[in-house]
């Protein structure tokens, strides 16, 4: 059974590095990396409906970044500033007011975490954010680092596992366990590990819609409520359309 999450006014949706280079055809592609996109789009819709902030991080490296193999690093050149590979996936439906966090711009070090020297933690606290719903790429690298940093900064964390993919699928169980030990709540893990439905993107988005139903209990927090579709059922029995 998938757990359900109730979006609260003090939540924000964090989307880590859903960029072309981490998707099939990119410079550092993850298997099925692009299949997170329809699932994340559903979460963006829910976030908009509930009026919570959407934060998207991106790897944004200078051309001769220290993390690249040519410079003695671990990775092929990827997400080079202003290239097609560094762009967010074209089907990712980021809202216009999404908060963009740029990382990996330093010549002398890499930054896996969206919180690493970006000021994001302090910024979110100022906004009153207490909990982060975390999605994106790659589960065992930048998502992992971001989740652990978020916990260190005392944010509550819900990892939406079916909205992630790993660089090394063999590391999924230990990564999930590490996050849980750090106090992160993990939902929909069975869709990534055991469930064939994640192999079809459309199917995955649909099952995420059904299984991870999000309830908006406080419509007064939803600035965008009237503007968006109202067809998503709430766990408390309302149909989401009071108008």
Helices (H), 153-242: 172-181, 189-193, 201-211
Q: What is the largest CA-CA distance in the chain?
A: 59
Residues 3 and 211: their CA atoms lie apart, in Å, by 8
Residues, the chain: 243
Helices (H), 34-104: 36-50
CB nearer to Zn ion: give 59 or 149.
Answer: 59
Which of 81-89, 99-107, 130-138, 158-166 is the region at the interface with Zn ion (rule: CB under 5 A)? 99-107
Contacting Zn ion within 152-191 (CB under 5 A):
none
Tell me the closest approach of the beta carbon of residue 14 to Zn ion, in angstroms. Answer: 17
CA Rg value for the chain: 17
DSSP 8-state class, residue 3: P
Measured from each CB, the residue nearest to Zn ion is: 59
CB nearer to Zn ion: give 33 or 104.
Answer: 104
**Is 97 among the catalytic positions?**
no
C-alpha separations of 63 from 58, 106, 107 in Å: 15, 11, 9
17: contact with Zn ion by CB under 5 A: no
Of 11, 34, 59, 211, which one interacts with Zn ion (CB under 5 A)? 59
Question: 3-state class of 121 per DSSP?
Answer: helix
CB nearer to Zn ion: give 60 or 225.
Answer: 60
Tell me the closest approach of the beta carbon of residue 26 to Zn ion, in angstroms. Answer: 12
45, 49, 103, 191: which is the annotated catalytic residue? 103
**Is 17 among the catalytic positions?**
yes
177 membership: H or E segment, kind and range: helix 172-181
CB nearer to Zn ion: give 109 or 210.
Answer: 109
**Token couple for 18:** 């859903």
**Is 59 among the catalytic positions?**
no
CB nearer to Zn ion: give 29 or 104.
Answer: 104
Burial class (CB in 10 A: 0-12, 13-18, 19+), 196: exposed
Tell me the closest approach of the beta carbon of residue 65 to Zn ion, in angstroms. Answer: 7
- Could you list the active site residues? 17, 103, 142
Binding site for Zn ion (CB under 5 A): 59, 104
């Amino acid at each position: 059974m998938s757990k359900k999450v109730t979006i609260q006014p003090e939540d924000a949706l964090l989307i880590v590095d859903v960029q072309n280079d981490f998707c099939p055809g990119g410079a550092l592609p993850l298997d099925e990396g692009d299949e997170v996109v329809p699932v994340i789009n559903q979460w963006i819709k829910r976030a908009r409906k509930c009026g919570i902030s959407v934060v998207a991080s991106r790897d944004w490296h200078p051309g001769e970044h220290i993390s690249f193999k040519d410079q003695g690093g671990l990775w092929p050149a990827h997400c080079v500033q202003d290239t097609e590979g560094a762009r967010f996936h074209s089907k990712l439906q980021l809202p216009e007011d999404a908060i963009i966090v740029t990382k990996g711009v330093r010549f002398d070090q890499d930054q896996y975490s969206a919180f690493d020297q970006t000021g994001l933690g302090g910024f979110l606290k100022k906004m009153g954010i207490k909990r982060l719903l975390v999605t994106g790429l790659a589960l065992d690298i930048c998502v992992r680092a971001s989740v652990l940093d978020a916990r260190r900064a005392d944010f509550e964390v819900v990892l939406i596992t079916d909205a992630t993919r790993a660089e090394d699928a063999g590391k999924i169980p230990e990564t999930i366990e590490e996050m849980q030990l750090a106090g992160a709540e993990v939902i929909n893990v069975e869709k990534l590990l055991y469930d064939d439905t994640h192999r079809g993107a459309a199917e995955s988005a649909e099952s995420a819609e059904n299984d991870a139903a999000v309830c908006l209990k406080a419509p007064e927090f939803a600035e965008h409520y009237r503007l968006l579709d109202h067809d998503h059922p709430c766990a408390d029995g309302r149909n989401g359309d009071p108008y």
